């Protein structure tokens, strides 16, 4: 992606061609804005009826529909004139049920929205990413994939699937020059998280040593790094952004 860019550069090269799924979400908006500011060529993909910021080209599609997903990625690639990178930020985190009475239909829908959409987009993008010679994929997972998330078993399971998908595709596609990595955030300052009741957010933050949510910029920065030349030897990895939530804080002292 951009042979004139120094290999130590930690942002993608200007002129890189990038597709971002879930472009209308809080993180998707922040990420596409940053990419455009860096001079990359960007096309977003999101559900019909969604709105994105001015200046972003958008392909409307339901990525849970296999045929529609393939068409959307092909159309976005054609608009870009090729493809260097895919960022899978599409997903949903709205379903809450106790596991013993979680409706199977709702569970299945969450897996489709958070896992199958990622695979469908990546599979459709594979030919163009192969042709790039320096293609890369960055999936958005969640710390729920590694830690579990009571009340949202479907979300945690789907995001764990994203990590398995990341390593599997990285192993299969390395020979085509395609890197595949994942960003694994904890609580992020998206509109949905900021709209949580204070008591719920405080309860979740009690397990975070840094005592705060991640900013959108901190997550965007991690994605940009994995898209950059500096990450050119990095594939199959999960970059966790959790404010220390995964650390063992038990000790021998009082």
What's the whole-number mean pLDDT along residues 76-104?
95
**Residue 177's CB: how many other CB atoms inside 10 A?**
14
Q: What is the pLDDT of residues 171-227, one digit of tens each?
A: 999 999 999 999 999 999 988 888 888 898 888 899 999 999 999 999 999 999 999
Strand, helix or coil at 111? helix
With H, G, I as helix, E, B as strand and everything else as coil, classify residue 60: strand
Pinpoint the alpha helices (H) of the chain: 26-37, 66-80, 104-111, 117-132, 144-147, 153-173, 191-194, 198-205, 216-227
* 138 torsion bin: left (phi>0), alpha (psi -120 to 50), beta (else): beta
Instruction: Examine the residue annotation and report whether 253 is marked as an active-site residue of this protein.
Output: no
Q: Is the pLDDT of residue 230 over 90?
A: yes
Residue 254 pLDDT: 66
Beta bridge partners of 185: 241
Note the pTM of the prediction, 2 decimals: 0.94
Helix (H) or strand (E) holding 137: strand 136-140
Instruction: Please determine, for residue 252, whether its predicted confidence score (pLDDT) is greater than 80.
Output: no
Residue 253's pLDDT is 73
State the pLDDT at residue 1.
Answer: 46
pLDDT of residue 251: 79
Residue 35 has pLDDT above 50, yes or no: yes
| Tokens matching residue 99 | 């596991």
pLDDT band, very low/low/confident/very high, at 37 (cuts 50, 70, 90) = very high
Q: Which residues, at least 6 apart from 175, have a Cβ–Cβ distance to it below 8 Å?
A: none
Q: In 3D, which of 13, 31, 4, 3 has the Cα closest to residue 228?
A: 13
User: What tens digit of pLDDT does each residue of 4-21 get?
Assistant: 788 999 999 999 999 999
The tokens for 17 are 């061609």
Domain 17-186+216-241 architecture: 3-Layer(aba) Sandwich (3.40)
The 10s digit of each residue's pLDDT in 123-149 is 999 999 999 999 999 999 999 999 999
């Amino acid at each position: 992606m951009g042979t004139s860019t120094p290999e130590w550069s930690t942002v993608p090269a200007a002129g890189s061609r990038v597709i971002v799924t879930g472009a209308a979400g809080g993180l998707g908006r922040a990420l596409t804005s940053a990419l455009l500011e860096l001079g990359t060529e960007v096309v977003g993909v999101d559900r019909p009826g969604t709105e994105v910021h001015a200046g972003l080209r958008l392909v409307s599609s339901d990525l849970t529909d296999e045929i529609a997903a393939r068409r959307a990625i092909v159309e976005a690639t054609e608009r870009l004139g090729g493809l260097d990178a895919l960022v899978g930020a599409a997903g949903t985190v709205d379903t809450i049920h106790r596991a013993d009475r979680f409706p199977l239909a709702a569970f299945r829908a969450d897996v489709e929205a958070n896992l199958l959409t990622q695979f469908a987009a990546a599979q459709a993008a594979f030919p163009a990413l192969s042709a790039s010679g320096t293609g890369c994929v960055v999936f958005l997972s969640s710390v729920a994939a590694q830690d579990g998330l009571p009340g949202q078993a479907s979300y945690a399971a789907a995001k764990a699937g994203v990590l398995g998908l990341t390593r599997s595709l990285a192993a299969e596609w390395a020979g085509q020059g395609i890197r595949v990595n994942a960003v694994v955030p904890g609580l992020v300052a998206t509109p949905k998280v900021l709209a949580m009741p204070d008591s719920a957010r405080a309860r979740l933050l009690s397990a975070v040593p840094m005592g705060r949510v991640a900013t959108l910029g901190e997550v965007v920065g991690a994605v940009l790094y994995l898209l950059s030349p500096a990450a050119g030897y990095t594939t199959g990895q999960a970059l966790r952004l959790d404010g220390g939530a995964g650390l063992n804080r038990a000790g021998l002292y009082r």
